[in-house]
Amino acid sequence: MQNKEALTEENKTKMNLDKCKIRFKSHYLAAFFLIALATSVFYLTGENSAISEEQDSQKQNARNEEEPKARNDSVLSCNLFSGRWVFDNLSYPLYKEGECSFMISDYACEKNGRTDLKYQNWKWQPRDCDLPRFNGTAFLEKIRGKKLLFVGDSLNKNQFVSLLCLIESSLHQSSPKEVIREDNLFIFQATEYNATIGFYWSPLLVESNCDDPYTHRIKDRIIRITAIEKHAKHWTDADILIFNSFMWWLEPTMTILWGSFGSNDAIYKRVEMKLRRYEMTLNTWSNWLEININRTRTKIFFMSLSPYHFKGESWDDPQHCYNESEPIWKENYWGIGTDTEMMHAAESALKNLERRGLKIEYLNITHLSDYRKDAHPSIYRRYSQPPNEEQLATNPKGYSDCVHWCLPGVPDSWNEILYSYIINSL
C-alpha radius of gyration, the chain, whole number: 36
List b or e across 93-122, with b for residues whose CB sees 16 or more CB atoms inside 10 angstroms. bbbebeebebbeebbbbbebebeeeebbbb
Q: How far apart are CA 241 and CA 350, in angstroms?
A: 14
Displacement of CA 237 from its chain's centroid (Å): 20
Q: Which of 153, 370, 374, 401 is catalytic?
A: 401
Q: How far apart are CA 413 and CA 162, in angstroms?
A: 9
Q: Which residues contact 49 (CB under 8 A, 6 or more apart)?
A: none
Q: How far apart are CA 365 and CA 415, in angstroms?
A: 10
Displacement of CA 171 from its chain's centroid (Å): 22
Q: CA-based angle 180:185:188, to the nearest 5?
A: 40
Q: How far apart are CA 65 and CA 62, in angstroms?
A: 5
Q: Cα torsion at 392, 398, 403, 407 (round to 10°)?
A: 10
Q: Which of 320, 367, 376, 404 is catalytic?
A: 404
Dihedral of CA 157/158/164/167: which sign?
Answer: negative
For the beta carbon of residue 36, count every other beta carbon within 10 angstroms.
10
**Measured between alpha carbons, how far apart are the two ends of the chain, in Å?**
110
Q: Which of 154, 170, 400, 420 is catalytic?
A: 154
* 82 a catalytic residue: no
Burial class (CB in 10 A: 0-12, 13-18, 19+), 72: middle
* 154 a catalytic residue: yes
The region, left, alpha or beta by phi > 0 then psi within -120 to 50, assigned to residue 271 is: beta
For the beta carbon of residue 318, count every other beta carbon within 10 angstroms.
10
Closest CA to 124 of 92, 84, 166, 79: 84
For the beta carbon of residue 3, count every other beta carbon within 10 angstroms.
7
Residues with catalytic annotation? Answer: 154, 401, 404
